Amino acid sequence: LSSGINAEYGEDVTSRLDAQPPPSSWFSRIFSASSVPKVKGLYVFGGVGCGKTMIMDMFYQELATTSKLRTHFHDFMLDVHERIHAFKSTLPPSHVNDRKCYDPIPVVAREIAKESRVLCFDEFQVTDVADAMILKRLFQTLFEEGVTMVATGNRPPEDLYKNGLQRSNFLPFIPMLKAHCEVLDMESIVDYRISEPKPLDIPGGRANYIQDPGQLDKIFHYLTGGAEGAVCRPVPVLGREIRVGVSVGPILSTTYRELIERSHGSSDFRALARTFSHVIIKDFPQLSIKEKTQLRRFIVMMDIFYDRNVKLIISSDVPLHDIICLQDADQKAKDELRMLMDDLKLTMEEAKSMSLFTGEDEVFSQKRALSRLTEMQCADYWDLPHNKHE
């Protein structure tokens, strides 16, 4: 399946891209849309570990154009919001909210289109209302400029941003997505990441241990050639600095408390992923719904580290597959849920139908994090070069 998609679809994309004029060029504006060959994108969805990201990465690597971008969708939207903010900062205060005359979204979209004619998104998932409200306008301009989108997701297009706030404003994006992308259901319930890993070329032969920080010290000593000069070095992040653990070169040794308990955001984890190729984490507890903030922070970190091929070595309180407890919330969380339902005057049936309460996307994210954590223990993953995404 993957070789067929990449060979046929990749050749079609390349040939059509070669026939396209540059985005926003005089030629593309003179001629009608029908006279310029459009390149239809691809939206691939399916369960955890079924090979979506692998297919997209293979396609991206084989795509014969340099005008392409492969990124996590969450990172892409962060960049979009930063560009919008930068554009607004150039306007006089009286014009900032005048969308009719000074709408930043088409400007940002045309800027992106000039940089990349193919956008490849991993984990196309809409959970933020700020993202949901601008997607139609953003992608309408991108598609008009001839940009092709290839994306992976866990939901069919019809279920994107399901039961989200102000979803009626988001709904017009769905037919636009389907009009510009072929939709492919992987139709797989098998998680191919879960298999018995081959021994790694490090002390102990594996990258996860139960309550054994001493073994992680041995691995740190081995990877750094003696751990001489290990210091807590500052890592620059958007004009500030963060400090976690100690490091030698690209090898970081830290603890759960330093990395996850502190209020680090996605920009912090991206900076760490650029700086360090190996991250050793000691004293990792079992996470559950009771630690929702830490759990979400860990999931964000996992997505970023996995995307950059960061090698993760962990000493935890429980076996690796139990690091995230996927059981129902405890009684306290259920009581809080009932109180919230009472405040909103919702029945249990109504509450269960809402993603606000069922947390379908969050459960999928937890399963994805566990699946990726398992793959990160494998020799094939360790053979991948560190991807700094500079």
Average pLDDT across each block of 10 residues of the chain; the chain has 390 residues. List them in order.
52 58 47 55 84 85 88 90 88 66 88 95 87 94 94 90 85 95 81 64 87 92 91 91 95 96 91 95 88 87 91 91 68 54 59 50 76 86 82
Residue 179 to residue 175: CA distance in whole angstroms:
6
296-318 burial code (b ≥16 CB/10 A, e <16):
ebbbbbbbbbbbbbbbbbbbbee
Outline where DSSP puts E strands in the chain.
41-45, 68-72, 118-122, 148-153, 181-185, 208-210, 235-237, 240-242, 246-248, 251-255, 278-284, 311-316
Which CA distances in Å does 122 have to 53, 62, 306, 324?
Answer: 6, 17, 11, 22
* Distance (Å, whole) CA 229 – CA 302: 28
The neighbouring-strand residues paired with 148 are: 118
Say what the pLDDT of residue 23 is: 55
Please count the other Cβ atoms lying within 10 Å of the Cβ belonging to residue 250: 17
Is the full-model pTM beyond 0.75? no
Continuous H helices in 308-386: 331-344, 348-352, 355-358, 360-375, 379-382
Name the one residue in this structure whose structure tokens are 């005089």: 26
Say which amino acid occupies 300: V
pLDDT, residue 33, reads 43
The DSSP call for residue 48 is: T
Confidence at residue 61, expressed as pLDDT on a 0 to 100 scale: 87
Question: Which DSSP helix (H) or strand (E) runs through 303?
Answer: helix 292-307
> In the numeric block, which tokens belong to residue 42?
């691809």
Task: Report d(CA 153, CA 68) in Å as an integer.
Answer: 19
357: left (phi over 0), alpha (psi -120 to 50) or beta: alpha
For residues 173 and 183, what is the distance between their CA atoms, to the nearest angstrom? 14
* pLDDT recorded at residue 325: 81
- Pairwise CA distance, residues 179 & 185, whole Å: 16
Q: How far apart are CA 110 and CA 143, in angstroms?
A: 10
DSSP code of residue 321: G
> Would you state the pLDDT for residue 96?
56
d(CA 119, CA 113): 9
What's the pLDDT at 141?
Answer: 96
What the block records as the tokens of 223 is: 């990877």
